[in-house]
Amino acid sequence: PRPQTGGVRRDSRRSVQRTLTDPRRLRSCSFPAVSSATMAGLAWVDVLVVCVILLSVLAIGAWSTWATRNAHKSSDFFLGGRSMPWWAIGGSLFASNIGTEHFVGQAGSGAASGLPVSLYEWTAGWLIVLLGEKFAPVYLRALVTTVPEWLEGRFGKETRVLVSVLSLLSCIITKIAATLFAGAILLEVLAGWSLWTSTPIIIVTTGLYTIGGGLQAVMLTDVLQAVIFVLGGLAGMGIAMRRVGGWEGMQHTLEVAGLRSHLHMYRPADDASYPFAAMLTGQLVSSVWYWIFEQTQVQRVLAARSLPHARAGCVAAGYAKLLPPFMMVLPGIAARALFERCRLGLDDPGAGEGVGDEGSWCATRLDEARHANKAYPQLILREFPVGMVGVMVAAMVCAMMSSLSSNFNSASTLFTVDLYHRFISPQASERELLWCGRIATAAVCVLAMAWLPIVAHQDGEFYLVVQNAT
């Protein structure tokens, strides 16, 4: 529901306005938009920045594909030859989880509901460490390729089939399709491309090195992509907080708008989206599944050259999970604060342009959940300077590509190893398994696109849509 702000008294509003416009408090804040990006596209400088960064990523993917051109074993394609170092494991664990749905979805949840969505990230940190400390020894000792393969040894083939099918459905519904749709939101706002225009480009670009180089290409590109979107995300947070007047300015804006709860991590038990008890119990159950038993994450551990490398990679990824709330949630809250400043007339950056004017923050309608999903793209368009817009677009696209490539490879691994090789063609050669994995990757892409219309018609917070599907 929209916040009830009609009861704010005029004298209180003027008092807060004086506080927000005090140069001593907001000396670093300059509200007029400085970005040259428009709703129709990007400035040429931003396009150049995006091209340079993405070509660097594709160059690493092409090199990895060339380096593995003579691979003859399925383990080379699905597990990188079981030779990956700790830094590749840690970077890939982090990058494969952070997709554009996080930049779009978590920022949107930050704009709509505030800080509580951060609990998803901070809970994951210690679960990743638990994966390396307690479960990695078990998985590596079993010499399996997938988690369902390990489960068959304990519970039978029926369990293997069930978990494999559920994992494939989860991969398509809550990860690949969600990442593609989040990327479509980004490109729609920044470049004016429709969902069905941007999706094929994203799939083809990412699928080229995923199909060609296997897990090794995926993990090496993940590392570079993680560096890019972490640096871009932290820089974006700095710009967003500066635009809203720092923590103090954002806090005052939210208070006068009746949104003080946005800055509280824990909510009452009757909260519709983030009840306290559910975030500490129910959310924990799904997180345990995702970080300890889900194929996309465990596959990185299985690719380790040794147990110490697996554990070190998990510790590195665990610490990295402290960053997403700062990179994504805080900018989303800052965008909501800028919208509220416009709506309440508190030194609006688009003052005088009218509530319906597209140049005004009022036109973003971030107080509605379905529009809140565009909080971060709108923030980039309206407040970021030339050049930085390109960096942020590249950072988001890198996050999208890392998530997609990881899930493409994991889905093909599940189908090839747990279904095709186990039940359909037990005598399949290594070459046949390699080609089956590549064909399965393409098939999963098509299935993901088929689910996109359902995701596109969701009206709630996008990140919660994904979590509810899980």
Query: Residue 430 above 90 pLDDT?
Result: no
| Mean pLDDT confidence for 54-66 | 85
> Could you tell me which residue, 172 or 226, shows the higher pLDDT?
226
| Mean pLDDT confidence for 265-280 | 84
Angle, nearest 10°, between helix axes 195-243 and 86-97? 100
- Quote the strand ranges of 48-118, DSSP E: none
Among all chains, which residue has been given the structure tokens 């590596």?
Answer: 140
Res. 443 pLDDT band, cuts 50 70 90: confident
Strand-pairing partners, residue 304, are 84
| Mean pLDDT confidence for 80-98 | 91
Res. 378 pLDDT band, cuts 50 70 90: confident
Distance CA(169)–CA(172), nearest Å, equals 5
- The answer to whether residues 320 and 313 touch, using CB atoms and an 8 Å cutoff, is no
Res. 238 pLDDT band, cuts 50 70 90: very high
Query: Residue 357 above 90 pLDDT?
Result: no
pLDDT of residue 25: 40
Q: Which range is most confident: 194-198, 239-243, 300-304, 444-448?
A: 300-304
Distance CA(36)–CA(382), nearest Å, equals 8
pLDDT of residue 322: 93
Q: DSSP character for 306?
A: S
> Could you tell me which residue, 21 or 384, shows the higher pLDDT?
384
Any idea which of 73-82, 238-247, 277-286, 340-349 has the lowest mean pLDDT?
340-349
> Could you tell me which residue, 13 or 438, shows the higher pLDDT?
438
Q: Which residues contact 342 (CB under 8 A, 6 or more apart)?
A: 348, 349, 350, 351, 355, 360, 361, 362
| Mean pLDDT confidence for 51-70 | 83
Query: Residue 291 above 60 pLDDT?
Result: yes
pLDDT of residue 15: 40
Distance CA(352)–CA(344), nearest Å, equals 13
The number of C-alpha atoms within 13 Å of 358 and in the hemisphere containing its C-beta is: 5
Query: Residue 81 above 50 pLDDT?
Result: yes
Residue 71 burial by Cβ neighbours in a 10 Å radius (0-12, 13-18, 19+): middle
Query: Residue 10 above 60 pLDDT?
Result: no
Task: Give the tokens for residue 121.
Answer: 């990230």
Q: Which residues contact 105 (CB under 8 A, 6 or more apart)?
A: 178, 182, 373, 461, 462, 463, 465, 466
Helix (H, G, I), strand (E, B) or coil at 415: helix
Task: Give the tokens for residue 335.
Answer: 């965008």
| Mean pLDDT confidence for 288-307 | 92
| CA-only gyration radius of the chain, Å | 23
pLDDT of residue 61: 83
Report percent pLDDT > 70 for the chain: 83
Helix (H, G, I), strand (E, B) or coil at 429: coil
Q: Quote the pTM value.
A: 0.82
Which pLDDT tens digit goes with each residue over 181-209? 777 777 777 766 777 777 777 788 888 88
